[in-house]
Amino acid sequence: MAGDVDSRKSTSGYLITFAGGAVSWQSKLQKCVTLSTAEAEYVAVTEASKEMLWMKNFLSELGHDQDDYVVNCDNQSTIHLTKNPMFHSRSKHIDVRYHWIREALDEKKLKIEKIHTDLNWSDMMTKSVPTKKVEDCCQGAGILVPSN
């Protein structure tokens, strides 16, 4: 959160895998300044969900439909925020464009699930991580790591 020292914007990152390999990924500064870690993750999970739905439509056009399209998130507060508008007093400042995810979840277009931070492969794109974590992330994303 607020990793850019000049703008205080957070970095969002996502990694979409299919058949054991990374097929879409992104790491970039968010368009807005967020006031909490949960809000920064909320913005990130919304952007990842938009890409996931694009991928879902693309795969459908290719004749490959699957039952579930899951976006993983390692922040429990963010997951609650996506599913429960009752946090209104603490989240009313969040831009309306990011609340789109609630409608997508209500329409069952995708699912949001909790993932343990140790299994969150997109971490390598959003923060400094130790070499072992980078190797784990690459392996989890289906990216070959050159041997020494």
CA distance 105 to 110: 6
Q: Left, alpha or beta for 26 (phi > 0: left; psi -120 to 50: alpha)? A: beta
CA distance 25 to 16: 6
Q: Give residue 91's pLDDT band: very low, low, confident or very high (50, 70, 90).
A: low
pLDDT per position as a tens digit, 24-60: 999 999 888 887 888 888 889 999 999 999 999 999 9
pLDDT per position as a tens digit, 95-132: 566 677 888 888 899 999 999 988 988 888 888 888 88
Is there a contact between 2 and 11 (Cβ–Cβ < 8 Å)? no
Task: Check whether 3 has a pLDDT greater than 70.
Answer: no
pLDDT per position as a tens digit, 61-86: 999 988 889 999 988 988 988 887 66
Task: Check whether 94 has a pLDDT greater than 60.
Answer: yes
Query: Quick one: pLDDT at residue 92?
Result: 59
